[in-house]
Amino acid sequence: MPTATTLPLIILIAVLWRLTKGNILSVIVYTSIFDSASALNIGKLGVSPWMVALLVGLVEKVVRGHAPIRLIPGLNRLALKLGVFFLVYSAWSAIVYPVLFAGVAVMSSHDSSPAPLLWNVSNLAQLCYLIACAFVYFIALTSTRDELRSALDWYVRGAITAAFVAMYQLANAVWHVPYPSAILYSHPGHVIYPAFMIHGMWRLNGPFPEASELATYACLGVALLGWDVVTRRFRLTTTLGLALLISAVLMTLSTVGYLCLSLILAMGAALSIVSAFRQRSFTPQKILLALLLVAGGTTLFLTTDASATVSNVVSSVVLEKKDTSSYRDRSAMNSAAIDTFRHTYFIGAGWGSARASGLIYGLLANEGVIGVGLLAALLLSLGFPLALSRKSTLAPENSMTYEKALFGLISMLAALIIAGAEPVEPVFWALIAISTAAYSNARSNEIVLVPTAGTRQYSYVAFNPS
């Protein structure tokens, strides 16, 4: 039945559809931030906002008689094949393995003990999520490269929106400002962990079920926006957006967020050095900003008790993590996942059967060696163009999109490995598809669809972007 989210979501999708000029991928990645909301509840199952955006987009394409589906020219064919193999194998495992290994002990949720494996509504729900992600994957592969670049920008806007929601949540916690919990937390299948205090510090989750998910999505925004700050001209709005996202990550008090932020910082430093030599992108404004940040941070630590606060945060979030009940629960889930992996003869219990805290543990328990191998091969194949000669492999107008998407994918992959589950996030598959499709070996192999005047017929026309 409809929820408090339904009407606001319909209005939001209509607005986004107009602003993005009908770019389905952009609307999907933006609405994916509302992970705790549900547009429609069916018993204990909820329909996520991004799935509604996907459905609306597909229906609109069919009704308006858009052009036939065609893969974007010049994409990474090896990555495409491996992506299809992984999705097909995962769907097959979701249907077959729970029946084949019925009775094997699996842990299916955070707050349960291992129980006999039985194909149930949870498997069906995860299979639906997988199919929806497959649609997102193929929509990205059939989009134009301008649409792919726009989708990355709209995801960043979505991440900034999530950061604003988190700050709004903080205002609600501190000053009791009215907060739309009914709209943001309407999904019946999620256990919501609202804002609470740890050692005198607020831990925020924003529009997500828990703080670690906000950290994952915000870190991806930091990676994508940080890429722009380093490689493009200085813009104050971009810098302020990056500062807001970093603040949101810090206020999640999440181990995932802090470790990923450290990784992004290390990768960003390397990127800055490469960019400085390759593009001479370090302008006086960027140098001045860096000096001001260093000077301001040093002054703050010397004149206030900021160093004690940072020490307290790092100690409670990272160094003392093993002493928390959360760590013990997650360790028990991962131990149960390894047991499931062994008891299914290293094949796995099937997509959506077992829960774990960490992408690798989850894949081993559900997909087994084959699934882990396919996903690893897919991710490695996305980096092949970097190992080849840049001049002969990547067209200049596509290399920036490709490298930016790959940079963001590494950030999100790290977060999922630390505390993720199965890869059913639409933005994860959008990044894989963008990294696959943005690859191109020629400047002139772009093909565009041109409508024939007065008809619904389309023809392919060669287009040289230069």
Per-residue pLDDT of 92-123, as tens digits, reads 999 999 999 999 989 876 656 788 998 888 88
Distance in angstroms (rounded) separating the CA atoms of residues 91 and 325: 34
| pLDDT exceeds 90 at position 145 | no
Residue with the two structure tokens 């129980």: 115
| pLDDT exceeds 90 at position 79 | yes
**In which band, very low, low, confident or very high, does the pLDDT at 286 lie, cut at 50, 70 and 90?**
low
For 438, phi then psi, to 5°, come to -70, -20
The residue-averaged pLDDT of 51-59 equals: 93
Q: Is 229 helix (H, G, I), strand (E, B) or coil?
A: helix
% of the chain surpassing 70 pLDDT:
79
DSSP-derived letter for residue 323 is G
Q: How many Cβ atoms sit within 10 Å of the Cβ of residue 254?
A: 29
Residue type for position 194: P
Distance in angstroms (rounded) separating the CA atoms of residues 151 and 158: 10
The residue-averaged pLDDT of 337-349 equals: 94
Answer yes or no: is 456 within a domain.
yes
* Range scoring the smallest mean pLDDT among 33-42, 132-141, 159-168, 299-308: 299-308
| pLDDT exceeds 80 at position 56 | yes
Residue with the two structure tokens 């629960």: 329
Answer yes or no: is 57 within a domain.
no
Distance in angstroms (rounded) separating the CA atoms of residues 217 and 415: 9
Residue with the two structure tokens 């740890």: 198
Distance in angstroms (rounded) separating the CA atoms of residues 98 and 236: 53
pLDDT tens digit sequence for 15-43: 999 999 999 999 999 999 999 999 999 88
Judge whether 137 and 84 are in contact, CB under 8 Å: no
Distance in angstroms (rounded) separating the CA atoms of residues 271 and 227: 8
Answer yes or no: is 13 within a domain.
no
Answer yes or no: is 27 within a domain.
no
* Chain mean pLDDT for the chain: 83
Q: How many Cβ atoms sit within 10 Å of the Cβ of residue 400?
A: 17
Task: Decide which of 458 and 433 is more confident.
Answer: 433
Cα angle for residues 141, 158, 222 (degrees, 5° grid) = 90
Judge whether 71 and 79 are in contact, CB under 8 Å: no
DSSP-derived letter for residue 112 is -
**In which band, very low, low, confident or very high, does the pLDDT at 448 lie, cut at 50, 70 and 90?**
very low
pLDDT tens digit sequence for 370-408: 999 999 999 999 988 777 654 444 555 667 889 899 999
DSSP-derived letter for residue 322 is G
Range of the domain at 345: 74-463
Answer yes or no: is 56 within a domain.
no
DSSP-derived letter for residue 106 is E
Task: Decide which of 44 and 216 is more confident.
Answer: 216
DSSP-derived letter for residue 316 is I
Distance in angstroms (rounded) separating the CA atoms of residues 121 and 108: 12
Answer yes or no: is 226 within a domain.
yes
Task: Decide which of 441 and 364 is more confident.
Answer: 364
Answer yes or no: is 274 within a domain.
yes
Distance in angstroms (rounded) separating the CA atoms of residues 79 and 437: 9
**In which band, very low, low, confident or very high, does the pLDDT at 440 lie, cut at 50, 70 and 90?**
low
| Stretch (H or E) spanning 78 | helix 77-100
Distance in angstroms (rounded) separating the CA atoms of residues 419 and 359: 7
| pLDDT exceeds 90 at position 51 | yes
| pLDDT exceeds 80 at position 283 | no
pLDDT tens digit sequence for 210-268: 999 999 999 999 999 999 888 877 788 988 999 999 999 999 988 888 889 989 988 88
Tally of domains in the chain: 1
Helices 211-231 and 145-175 pack at an angle, to 10 degrees, of 130
| pLDDT exceeds 60 at position 446 | no
Tokens of 116: 């006999």
pLDDT given at position 392? 45
Answer yes or no: is 39 within a domain.
no
